[in-house]
Amino acid sequence: MSKLFRRYRAVTLPTGKEINKRTDQLPDNIVERCPSCNRLVLQSQIAPHYVCAHCDYHLVFPARERANWITNGNFEEINETILPDFSEGFPGYEEKHAKLRKKTGVNEAVLTGIGQIGNYSVGLGVMLNDFLMGSMGTAVGTKLTNLFDYATEQRLPVVLYIASGGARMQESILSLMQMAKISQAVERHSQAGLFYCSVLTNPTTGGVTASFAMQGDVIIAEPNATIGFAGKRVIEQTINSKLPDDFQKAETVLENGFIDNIVSRDKQSQVLQFLLATHQGAGEVNHGEI
């Protein structure tokens, strides 16, 4: 009888919305949710090259951490003080830019500098996903142009880690002009016989894809990265047709011959060192016998 009339306390399970709310209240840099397997990943579980501990999905890699990771801590930033011209007066642009500078600790959507990958000195650029989605404005254009020109002067190869939503709308036509400006610097570097490798990360889109991202002597991409020009929805609306789920994924882009290879982060240092060794001495004049 005692068991028959025993009282049981009801337990109310939290809803998904409540769980997400509680997760959002956790301190920064403690936990994040993998967008691929949807499992929570503790910061302590994330590998130094920022992949999910559960499924090896390539998470967003903070730019400064990536620069220090690929150079084994031998990264020296240059052109860090360059800022865009705010004279166009786009509403709220300057204030938003200032908040992002404070939040990220960098002045623009790309870090540029000199570093060493293995035993090879390189000009290195790393674009920031979290700074206006890595969009290309006048400051980004100037920093990358200066990087290529400095590398040409010092006879250095260039490696760019690229992530971008495209040209920056807040700077109007000036942002589109950066495509030609950077491309000319890439061409000067190429005419000097020097090596340029572009590494396309998630996402690489818009005017960046239409210019320097696809001008590398060797173009590699990270697994599952989105690579394209116009967005998928825009194309579907234009052609009035449904596109496949893997449209603009790195694997599909490779299959159609637009990039040279897909390289996971755990192999990137090895692959880049091989490419740098292969192209070592590129552009040097041979003064021996002909």
Range with lowest mean pLDDT among 31-45, 193-207, 255-269, 273-287: 273-287
What's residue 9's pLDDT?
65
How far, CA to CA in Å, does 282 sit from each of 20, 155, 190, 276?
53, 9, 10, 10
- Record the pTM: 0.85
CA gap 185, 47 in Å, rounded: 35
- Number of other CB atoms surrounding residue 6 within 10 Å: 7
What's residue 286's pLDDT?
40
Does 257 have pLDDT greater than 60? yes
Find tokens 């090895």 and name the residue. 270
CA gap 227, 26 in Å, rounded: 33
DSSP string, 187-231: HHHHHTT--EEEEEEEEE-HHHHTTGGG--SEEEE-TT-BB-SS-
Measured torsion, CA atoms of residues 23, 27, 33, 35, in degrees rounded to the nearest 10 = 120
67-80 per-position pLDDT tens digit? 999 999 999 999 99
Copy the structure tokens of residue 231: 């967005």
DSSP string, 103-142: HHSSSSSEEEEEEEETTEEEEEEEE-TTTGGG-B-HHHHH
How far, CA to CA in Å, does 263 sit from each of 66, 199, 201?
15, 9, 10
Q: Average model confidence (pLDDT) for the chain?
A: 89
What's residue 206's pLDDT?
94
Copy the structure tokens of residue 104: 């990220």
* Residue 190 or 246, more confident: 190
What's residue 85's pLDDT?
83
Does 5 have pLDDT greater than 80? no
CA gap 129, 131 in Å, rounded: 6
* Residue 11's pLDDT band (cuts 50, 70, 90): low
Phi, psi (5° rounding) for residue 241? -150, 150
* Residue 245's pLDDT band (cuts 50, 70, 90): confident
97-133 per-position pLDDT tens digit? 999 999 999 999 999 999 999 999 999 999 999 999 9
CA gap 106, 127 in Å, rounded: 11
What's residue 280's pLDDT?
85
Query: Which are the contacts of 124, defined by CB distance < 8 A and separation ≥ 6?
Result: 67, 70, 71, 75, 112, 113, 114, 115, 117, 158, 159, 160, 161
How far, CA to CA in Å, does 47 sit from each of 52, 77, 140, 188, 217?
8, 24, 29, 38, 30
